[in-house]
Amino acid sequence: MAERLSGTSAEESPELQTSRSRRRYKATNMAFEEMVEMVAILGREDYDGKKGPYTRPNMRKYKIMSSVVTTIEEKFGIKWAKEQLRKCWSDLKN
Query: Is residue 69 within 8 Å of 80, Cβ to Cβ?
Result: yes
Q: Whole-angstrom Cα distance, residue 89 to residue 21?
A: 27
User: Chain-wide mean pLDDT for the chain?
Assistant: 82
| Residue of 11, 25, 7, 19 lying closest to 69 (CA atoms) | 25
Where is pLDDT greater, at 30 or 4? 30
Q: What is the pLDDT of residue 52?
A: 87
Query: Taking the model in full, what pTM does it have?
Result: 0.69
Q: What is the pLDDT of residue 93?
A: 86
pLDDT 10s digits, 32-45? 999 999 999 999 99
Q: What is the pLDDT of residue 13?
A: 47
Amino acid letter for position 37: E
pLDDT over 70, % of the chain: 71
